[in-house]
Amino acid sequence: MIRFTNDYSEGAHPRILEALARTNLEGNYGYSCDEHSDRARALIREAIGRPDADVHILVGGTQTNTTALCAFLRPHEAVIAAESGHVCVHETGAIEATGHKCIAMPAVEGRLTPEAVRAAVAAHPDEHMVKPRLVYISNTTEVGTVYTTAQLRELRAVCDELGLLLYLDGARMASALATGCTTLPETAALVDAFYIGGTKNGAMFGEALCILNPALKPDFRYILKQRGGMLAKGWLLGLQFEVLMQDGLYEQLGRHANEMAMRLKQGIAELGYGFGADSPSNQQFPIFPDAVIDRLKGDFHWETMGKLPGGRTHIRLVTSWATQPEAVEAFLAALAACTGG
């Protein structure tokens, strides 16, 4: 079985495994108050060009989103997100569980637009409704598209105009960076907070939350602890980002994932199939006839997005730092065989 199921099917990049083994018995202070975490935070601050950033490394993405938004918002304040946004759909109401409404807005190719932000604010004019306060976006988006720096700048402008915070979920930041759409410093200059995803890009686990807006920094560690997100062995998180942020490893792994995806995309297109979205990143959403699906599914694994009219199925293929070129070739060969001719 060859997996294009997701980008979290494997453990960690060998350099990280090696670092974990090497430091296993060295003894470290707990709760991220250790030297590996210090170095990781320093490397991240350098990489994003913000020596003033507060950096906290958490275990997972839903945990990071819900802890951050819970810390940043007062009880009546709401989140604006694309209706396809991870916080709106796939976190089992985690944001609502901390008391905050998610205002789901129509997306354009998975992206929240300045117009949608404006519309959300206009629809909530007074205290009989929630107060929109934070704009949530993901880069890459949930459908594999990206925000360019120019698009982030437009969102920043509308947030400034309307008194909103801008938060970016970077679970797949490495893949976004590899498309060239933006850079870490450009992103860090435009958002109030964002996280650099490790789980899907070489780390065993770990997401580095960067808080740029000084008003959002106080007492974050209290809320991190309260919500169960403060890892006792916090140096495990620090160590992993220490490795990822050195020698360009983080960016390199993202480029690999995207290269594998581009080969898939090109090969599928050349065989005449279409896509549900035009994704430049490590998630591809091809559409195949059901007969093709049936022949491929014994050897390959993926997630199904939905059944389409005309006996077709919309699927998601995901590549990662761990995807082997041979896996891509095998898929394309099998697809070619199905496609006949």
The reply to whether 219 sits near a second copy by the rule CB under 8 A is yes
Distances (CA, A) of 79 to 139, 304, 316: 17, 28, 27
State the nearest-atom distance from the C-beta of 334 to a second copy, in Å.
Answer: 17
79 and 58 Cβ atoms separated by less than 8 Å: no
Per CB under 8 A, contacts with a second copy among 312-331 are 322
- How many CB atoms lie under 10 A from the CB of residue 186? 17
Rg (CA), the chain: 20
CA distance 13 to 228: 26
What x-and-dash track marks residues 173-212 binding a second copy by CB under 8 A? --------------------------xx---xx-------
86 and 169 Cβ atoms separated by less than 8 Å: yes
Single out the residue of 38, 96, 154, 259 in contact with a second copy (rule: CB under 8 A): 96
State the nearest-atom distance from the C-beta of 257 to a second copy, in Å.
Answer: 15
Q: Which amino acid is at 312?
A: R
Stretch that binds a second copy, among 12-20, 42-50, 106-114, 156-164 (CB under 8 A): 12-20
Single out the residue of 21, 125, 309, 326 in contact with a second copy (rule: CB under 8 A): 21
Single out the residue of 17, 277, 332, 336 in contact with a second copy (rule: CB under 8 A): 17
What are the φ/ψ torsions at residue 288 (nearest 5 degrees)? Answer: -125, 155
- Residue 327 CB-half CA count within 13 A: 21
Single out the residue of 55, 143, 230, 245 in contact with a second copy (rule: CB under 8 A): 230
Single out the residue of 40, 57, 224, 264 in contact with a second copy (rule: CB under 8 A): 224
250 and 281 Cβ atoms separated by less than 8 Å: no
The reply to whether 20 sits near a second copy by the rule CB under 8 A is yes
Q: Is the dihedral of CA 238, 243, 248, 254 positive or negative?
A: negative
57 and 32 Cβ atoms separated by less than 8 Å: yes
The reply to whether 122 sits near a second copy by the rule CB under 8 A is no
Closer residue to a second copy in complex, CB, 227/295: 227
User: Which of 6, 7, 1 is closest to 198 using CA atoms?
Assistant: 7
SS3 37: helix
The reply to whether 9 sits near a second copy by the rule CB under 8 A is yes
Single out the residue of 48, 53, 91, 147 in contact with a second copy (rule: CB under 8 A): 91
Distances (CA, A) of 36 to 21, 33, 205, 246, 329: 14, 9, 15, 13, 39
Would you state the structure tokens that stand for residue 71, as one six-digit string?
A: 């810390």
* Helix intervals (H) in 83-168: 86-89, 94-97, 114-122, 149-162
Q: Which amino acid is at 226?
A: Q
Closer residue to a second copy in complex, CB, 19/152: 19
Single out the residue of 36, 45, 56, 100 in contact with a second copy (rule: CB under 8 A): 100
The reply to whether 229 sits near a second copy by the rule CB under 8 A is yes
Closer residue to a second copy in complex, CB, 225/291: 225
State the nearest-atom distance from the C-beta of 165 to a second copy, in Å.
Answer: 15
Stretch that binds a second copy, among 7-15, 36-44, 48-56, 285-293 (CB under 8 A): 7-15
Single out the residue of 53, 59, 166, 335 in contact with a second copy (rule: CB under 8 A): 59
Per CB under 8 A, contacts with a second copy among 235-264 are 236
Single out the residue of 5, 183, 213, 252 in contact with a second copy (rule: CB under 8 A): 5
Single out the residue of 38, 49, 60, 263 in contact with a second copy (rule: CB under 8 A): 60
CA distance 292 to 60: 35
How many residues form the binding site for a second copy (CB under 8 A)?
74
Would you state the structure tokens that stand for residue 246, as one six-digit string?
A: 């050195």
State the nearest-atom distance from the C-beta of 33 to a second copy, in Å.
Answer: 11
